[in-house]
A and B are shown apart, each in its own frame.
Chain A
Amino acid sequence: MATDWRPTASIDMLRERARLLAQVRAFFAERNVLEVETPVLGHGGSTDVHLASLSLAATTPAGRERLWLQTSPEFHMKRLLAAGSGPIFQLARSFRDGEVGSRHNIEFTMLEWYRPGFSLDQLIEETAALIQAVLGRAPGALRRRRYRELFREALGFDPFGIELDALRRAAGERGGLDMEDAPRDECLDLLMGLVIEPGLGREGLDVVVDYPASQAALARRHRDPEDGQWVASRFEVYAQGLELANGYDELTDAEEQRKRFAEDNAARRRLGLPEVGVDERLLTALEHGMPAGSGVALGVDRLIQLALDRASVAEVMAFATPSC
């Protein structure tokens, strides 16, 4: 008899998962952060060039409409912030097409939370505390690692200063593939993913900060004190080579946000990718005014995978995508 009806996680693992999710809720209850639930579907989607959004046609009072499955609950949660919600968190089902692997699943659970008035540093501290609470043990020392420094240490060059041709050669050699026409960020992503990431978080939590300005997404930018170059006010937390969380000093400027959405869609056209509907309601909310602060998105399935020492996220999900 076929066995593909069976869950990808054991029932014991699901019990553990439930216990860890209860810990997450207790962590935020203690800190007076409000739990919210926002829609999985939205009229707008993420324009991010590297995220593939899923969409569907729905019959609504407005007729047949295209709705987007959210790649994260970010836009809806920011509208709540603009409406005066104060600090909020959510355990949200999120969807990213094509992402399947030992640490990816098309449908996954994102823990996202927002802290009006928090600096990026304060949010880094809180993220580390949350990780420790879920792991049930101290994850080791917390180290802030500047993106530039990581490249200098591992590859011997400054990722912001290096000539594009030399960068393409370095990426091509390390990856064993042709990067001759690759844009700058693609070369950096390849080197980050293949060379730097696997070594991060081996002795504790590594928090990568000061990303290239071109990789700011929905974060503010600031000047690097080293030489005045623009860098993104973003952080990523790594443990055991796993990327766990991605945090921003949130962009609150509607005009700048509109510009970045348009740039994304222009890049999508150039690359032959489908354009994604811009979330006009988010832009209006930002015009209305969203309090300054920081927010972070954490892959819950990966954190649980780490806490329970499993080789793949499928082992901590009832039914991973290939078995759904």
Chain B
Amino acid sequence: MANYSTNEFKGGLKVMLDGDPCSIVENELVKPGKGQAFSRVKLRNLITGRVWERTFKSGESLEGADVMDLEMEYLYTDGDMWYFMKTDGSFEQYAVEKKALGDTAKWLKEQVAYTVTLWNDNAISVTPPNFIELEVVETDPGLKGDTAQGGSKPATLSSGAVVRVPLFINQGEVLKVDTRSGEYVSRA
């Protein structure tokens, strides 16, 4: 992979740091008065998801990371691994470990397309679509009447996620949910 110098660091660039692939979040030039310049860089570790803050001397460089985001459809799980298939018509499948799946485990639905991040051709993380439609498998019975009134209750969705929903929602209904905030959006 190519090397990138601090002045090429920009949001989204994938680089290697301490043996892990990272995505640059922010790069701020620190230059006191007439002095030497440094780069204060925030990087997201793509394996752990943690954000690191590091300082580099101006002109220092990092090795690029062979990281790709690919769209893949969720197929099934055998309990150990979760299987996804590329949507480019190649039918190529990738097995994803639980660790890489992370919180996305609770938003899985067959035949939905996810963004799978590959590092050296191994899946290291899975990002769900921003919005997903899921069925309510369990919730307290719905309340009839004024649907505009506030109030909410928990509902368990087919993927396992639990979200707060309005009181009028019933078991068996399909809801549109925002996976980023984990909030109910509307009936689907």
Which residue of chain B lies nearest to A101 when distances are taken between CB atoms in the complex?
A: B29
Q: Nearest chain A CB to B40's CB is how many angstroms away?
A: 7
> Does B38 contact A175, Cβ atoms closer than 8 Å?
yes
Contacts of B7 in A (CB 8 A): 98, 100
Q: From known contacts A177-B54, A190-B38, infer whether A243 and B33 are also in contact, taking CB-CB under 8 Å.
A: yes
Q: Is the CB of A48 closer than 8 A to any CB of chain B? A: yes
Q: Is the CB of A253 closer than 8 A to any CB of chain B? A: no
- Residues of A at the B interface (CB closer than 8 Å) are 48, 50-51, 98-104, 175-177, 185-186, 188-190, 192-194, 196-197, 208, 211, 215, 217, 236, 243, 246
Task: Give the one of B7, B32, B40 with max A CB within 10 A.
Answer: B32
Which residue of chain A lies nearest to B35 when distances are taken between CB atoms in the complex?
A: A189
Q: From known contacts A190-B38, A194-B38, infer whether A101 and B28 are also in contact, taking CB-CB under 8 Å.
A: yes
Instruction: Compute how far the CA of A173 lies from the CA of B123 in the bound complex, rounded to whole angstroms.
Output: 35
Q: Is the CB of B144 closer than 8 A to any CB of chain A? A: no
Q: Nearest chain A CB to B24's CB is how many angstroms away?
A: 13
Q: Which of B14-67 contact A (CB under 8 A)?
A: 27-38, 40, 54-58
Which residue of chain A lies nearest to B56 when distances are taken between CB atoms in the complex?
A: A177
Q: Nearest chain B CB to A324's CB is how many angstroms away?
A: 16
Q: Nearest chain A CB to B111's CB is how many angstroms away?
A: 33
Q: Nearest chain A CB to B169's CB is how many angstroms away?
A: 38
> Does B37 contact A99, Cβ atoms closer than 8 Å?
yes
Q: Nearest chain B CB to A95's CB is how many angstroms away?
A: 15
Q: Nearest chain B CB to A267's CB is how many angstroms away?
A: 12
Interface residue from B29, B33, B37, B38 paired with A236 (Cβ < 8 Å): B33
The number of A-B residue pairs with CB atoms under 8 Å apart is 69
> Does B35 contact A185, Cβ atoms closer than 8 Å?
yes
Contacts of A102 in B (CB 8 A): 28
Q: Nearest chain A CB to B138's CB is how many angstroms away?
A: 45
Which residue of chain B lies nearest to A272 when distances are taken between CB atoms in the complex?
A: B59
Q: Nearest chain B CB to A107's CB is how many angstroms away?
A: 15
> Does A192 contact B33, Cβ atoms closer than 8 Å?
yes
- Residues of B at the A interface (CB closer than 8 Å) are 7, 27-38, 40, 54-58
Contacts of B32 in A (CB 8 A): 189, 192-193, 196-197, 243
Interface residue from A48, A50, A176 paired with B55 (Cβ < 8 Å): A176
Which residue of chain A lies nearest to B7 when distances are taken between CB atoms in the complex?
A: A98
> Does A186 contact B54, Cβ atoms closer than 8 Å?
no
Q: Nearest chain A CB to B170's CB is how many angstroms away?
A: 43
Instruction: Compute how far the CA of A174 lies from the CA of B27 in the bound complex, rounded to whole angstroms.
Output: 18
Q: Nearest chain B CB to A37's CB is how many angstroms away?
A: 24
Contacts of A177 in B (CB 8 A): 54-57
Q: Nearest chain A CB to B39's CB is how many angstroms away?
A: 9
> Does B34 contact A246, Cβ atoms closer than 8 Å?
yes
15 contacts between A and B (CB under 8 A): A98-B7, A101-B28, A101-B29, A175-B55, A177-B55, A185-B35, A185-B36, A186-B57, A189-B36, A189-B38, A192-B32, A194-B38, A196-B32, A236-B33, A246-B34
